[in-house]
Amino acid sequence: MDNMFSLKGKIALVTGASYGIGFAIAQAYYEAGASIVFNDINQDLVDKGLAAYGEAGVDVRGYVCDVTDEDAVNAMVGAIERDVGVIDILVNNAGIIRRVPMTEMSAAEFRKVVDVDLNAPFIVAKAVLPSMIKKGAGKIINLCSMMSELGRETVSAYAAAKGGLKMLTRNIASEYGQYNIQCNGIGPGYIATPQTAPLRERQADGSRHPFDQFLIGKTPMARWGTTDDLKGPAVFLASAASDFVNGHVLYVDGGILAYIGKQP
């Protein structure tokens, strides 16, 4: 059973993994035995990521790369193959969100979100697939979202991109499963990170933030998720344990998608 979940000897690329969810996934892969490479959009973020991994005792290589730039991605994948080896596991983690009402969002802003959250996973997957096909094995994991299934105010571009990413996941699985390549998604629920900390702060009267109250009421487990909650699912989808799981999105949301919410 330990061997089934082992990533020993595997090389994993986690995009945008200087911090947050990507960092946690990369750390879990390292603990499972994989060699880790990551990228971010500029040298400052890569340096901060390298420092954080060093503090956590994780040996990694970092690359500067804009994942929306196909030439840059191809160059990065080529460099990784020369420096480390063929990528066995790709996690398309890099992403952005713009919380703007649709009628106030410009087409350029919409395109930017789609470019990072949907076009970039296509570009990076396209870059790693030839070597995976040649090797006859590979794992591609896309960071989808509950917004792959649900809509919500102010996130039209994000929801559109993540819905598209769910379908890209299924299509990669359909097209390349014959080469023993599995492509699946992880759909995180609301995760407690520094970015969401203001939504979890207690109010002056000691009550929960209104969004915190709303979220707890919508989550059967009555709590926010943590980055640690994503480690096990990410290792599962990267390991031999999931070799016949393909085109699936694993929602790690505490049960939100299964629940209508508390009665008022």
Catalytically annotated residues: 158
Report the distance separating Cα 87 and Cα 177, nearest Å: 17
Report the distance separating Cα 214 and Cα 257, nearest Å: 14
Are the CB atoms for 188 and 143 separated by under 8 Å? Answer: yes
Paired strand residues for 187: 251
- The backbone torsions φ and ψ at residue 143, rounded to the nearest 5 degrees and listed phi first, read -80, 95
From residue 81, alpha-carbon distances to 88, 100, 111, 239 in Å are 11, 40, 31, 20
Consecutive H or E run containing 13: strand 11-15
| 3-state class (DSSP) for residue 156 | helix
Q: Considering only CA atoms, which of 156, 70, 170 is closest in space to residue 114?
A: 156
- Residue 24 sits at the vertex; the CA angle it makes with 67 and 182, to the nearest 5 degrees, is 60
